[in-house]
Amino acid sequence: MRLLFNATNLRSEGGVILMRNLLESFLAHAPDLQIRLYLNPELHERVKGILTESQTDNPGNPTRIEIIPFRPRGALKRFAWEQISLPRLIRKHQIDILFSFGNTGPLFPGCRQILYLQQAIPYSSYIPPGQPLLQLRWLGFKALYGFLIGLTQLGSQKIVVPTGWLVRPLQRSIAGLKPAHAYSITLPGNPGIREKRDAKRFTDSELTLLSQLEKWRASEEKILFYPCYLAPYKNIPFLLKALHLLAQQEPPPFRLILTFNDDSREYFPCRAQVLEALSDCAARERVVLSGSLGRDMIAELYRLSDILVFPSLVETLGLPLLEAMSHGIAVVATQNEQPDATQAAFAREICGSAALYAPPQDVAQFAAHLRTLLTNPQLAFDLGQEGLSRVQDLSWHAHVQAILAL
């Protein structure tokens, strides 16, 4: 079977991690599969090791995966490539299945197409607060991306989503032209971070942070962790307001690690709102802006953290939730319990009873949950163990089989 893996639009950190695990699982659990991978050249170095590992594990069949770094410049060129050039490549290489991993693909691929959806923004009711121009830009992004994903849905035999809240808005976006059985809701396997600690792979700033983390732990300070970037839907001002309330209640000593700083890339303008909330936060001295971190350092943070805070409002999956559970870390997240909610609607599907939840507008409840876990280490431990048990039941083999079972 020949599979063309289209990841030319892939850019997110979580997407890269999922892609690597998926490729390894395809190779391990689908032995007859030949893969042509088209991906964003910026990501080539981060996944090319898969090719070497595949050749080592299968010396008699060294060409099971071929990686082609490719990303047409400009939105119109990318659209033309997916709608015109990609179907030609499918015919040329006699592809059996097109796996559209970057959210978009052709309307007429010329073979069976599987859409693996990661972009939830077009299907959420969330609109960032702030300037009208920002809101117009956001709505324009939603409309354009929603249109492209809609085309890909129409050209796909299967649409794979990790969380079920997406299915109804996806169906509505194409006027119900796809039946319910075309949508497969399946969580990926255990994402446990496998990189071994190697001090040579840490940057100087990461080594400094690691030293500080170990000192804080030695002095019995609790470590809160939120792996995030500067995007409005990551809901960082909400979290900082919760910390402000928490600090006024004289909680046990803690530190919050946020993985952005002044040099971080901004996804839609929100830096001013975040910095304002930060300056107003009574716990400002307990907030550490680490900047972007490598996967080795992220692994260390999970090892050293006590609580994952996850106030994000729009996620297809929310990979840090799975990663935190795989490390036995307690979770506090936002969760909208309203029927048909499309904002803050994913966390309970992933974590179940292994987390504490607050409504997305309730800063006081979020702060109360943080205080509960900071003052009740046994509850934090029990939640972490429940999450660990939950994530251990996830299987990459089952995930791959559900994807390929057309």
In 292-376, which ranges are continuous DSSP H helix?
295-304, 319-326, 347-351, 363-375
The angle, 0 to 180 degrees and rounded to 10, between the axes of the packed helices 13-29 and 319-326 is 70
Judge if 185 and 233 occupy the same domain.
no
Look at 184 and 196; give whichever has higher pLDDT.
184
Judge if 181 and 206 occupy the same domain.
no
**pLDDT beyond 90 at 197:** no
Quickly state the pLDDT bin for 45 (edges 50, 70, 90).
confident
**pLDDT beyond 80 at 56:** no
pLDDT at 210 (0 to 100):
94
pLDDT at 13 (0 to 100):
77
Reported as a single tens digit per residue, the pLDDT across 59-98 is 545 558 888 999 888 889 999 999 999 999 999 999 999 9
Look at 33 and 98; give whichever has higher pLDDT.
98
Quickly state the pLDDT bin for 52 (edges 50, 70, 90).
low
Reported as a single tens digit per residue, the pLDDT across 357-378 is 999 999 999 999 999 999 999 9
Judge if 167 and 272 occupy the same domain.
no
**pLDDT beyond 80 at 261:** yes
Choose the weakest-confidence range: 10-24, 51-65, 217-231, 293-307: 51-65
Judge if 377 and 273 occupy the same domain.
yes
Within-domain flag for 80: yes
Averaged pLDDT, 345-355: 96
pLDDT at 262 (0 to 100):
84
- Measured between alpha carbons, how far is 225 from 219 in angstroms, rounded to an integer? 18
pLDDT at 15 (0 to 100):
84
Within-domain flag for 134: yes
CA atoms within 13 A on the CB side of 329: 28
pLDDT at 376 (0 to 100):
96
Look at 17 and 82; give whichever has higher pLDDT.
82
Burial class (CB in 10 A: 0-12, 13-18, 19+), 41: exposed
CB of 97 within 8 A of CB of 111? yes
- Measured between alpha carbons, how far is 318 from 271 in angstroms, rounded to an integer? 22
Q: CA 398 → CA 130, 347, 349, distances in Å?
A: 43, 21, 18
Share of the chain above pLDDT 90, in %: 73
Judge if 64 and 77 occupy the same domain.
yes
pLDDT at 265 (0 to 100):
86
Q: How many residues does the chain have?
A: 406
Judge if 380 and 399 occupy the same domain.
no
pLDDT at 291 (0 to 100):
94
- Measured between alpha carbons, how far is 311 from 333 in angstroms, rounded to an integer? 5
Within-domain flag for 269: yes
Within-domain flag for 22: yes
pLDDT at 16 (0 to 100):
84
Judge if 284 and 365 occupy the same domain.
yes
Averaged pLDDT, 214-222: 95
DSSP 313: S
Judge if 210 and 172 occupy the same domain.
no
Question: ∠ at Cα 118 (117, 123), nearest 5°?
Answer: 85
Judge if 236 and 150 occupy the same domain.
no
Q: Which amino acid is at 35?
A: I
Name, in order, each residue with C-beta under 8 angstroms of 49's C-beta and a sequence gap of 6 or more: none
Look at 321 and 15; give whichever has higher pLDDT.
321
Here the CATH number for the domain that contains residue 293 is 3.40.50.2000
Strand-by-strand arrangement of the 287-289 sheet: 287-289, 254-258, 222-226, 307-310, 330-334, 355-358
Q: Phi, psi (5° rounding) for residue 376?
A: -130, 80
pLDDT at 373 (0 to 100):
97
**pLDDT beyond 80 at 289:** yes
Quickly state the pLDDT bin for 406 (edges 50, 70, 90).
low
Within-domain flag for 40: yes
Reported as a single tens digit per residue, the pLDDT across 333-346 is 999 999 899 999 99
What's 141-183 look like in SS3?
A: HHHHHHHHHHHHHHCCCEEEECCHHHHHHHHHHCCCCCCHHHE
Question: ∠ at Cα 220 (198, 239), nearest 5°?
Answer: 85
Mean pLDDT of all residues belonging to the chain: 91
pLDDT at 51 (0 to 100):
56
pLDDT at 194 (0 to 100):
57
Structural domains counted in the chain: 2
**pLDDT beyond 60 at 242:** yes
Q: CA 47 → CA 39, 147, 163, 195, distances in Å?
A: 10, 29, 26, 14
Judge if 219 and 367 occupy the same domain.
yes
Within-domain flag for 194: no
Within-domain flag for 317: yes
Name the residue range of residue 346's domain: 199-392
Within-domain flag for 367: yes
Q: Which amino acid is at 267?
A: Y
CB of 390 within 8 A of CB of 351? yes
Choose the weakest-confidence range: 61-65, 228-232, 298-302: 61-65
Judge if 383 and 399 occupy the same domain.
no
CB of 354 within 8 A of CB of 383? yes
- Measured between alpha carbons, how far is 37 from 235 in angstroms, rounded to an integer? 34
Quickly state the pLDDT bin for 311 (edges 50, 70, 90).
very high
Judge if 20 and 128 occupy the same domain.
yes
pLDDT at 86 (0 to 100):
97
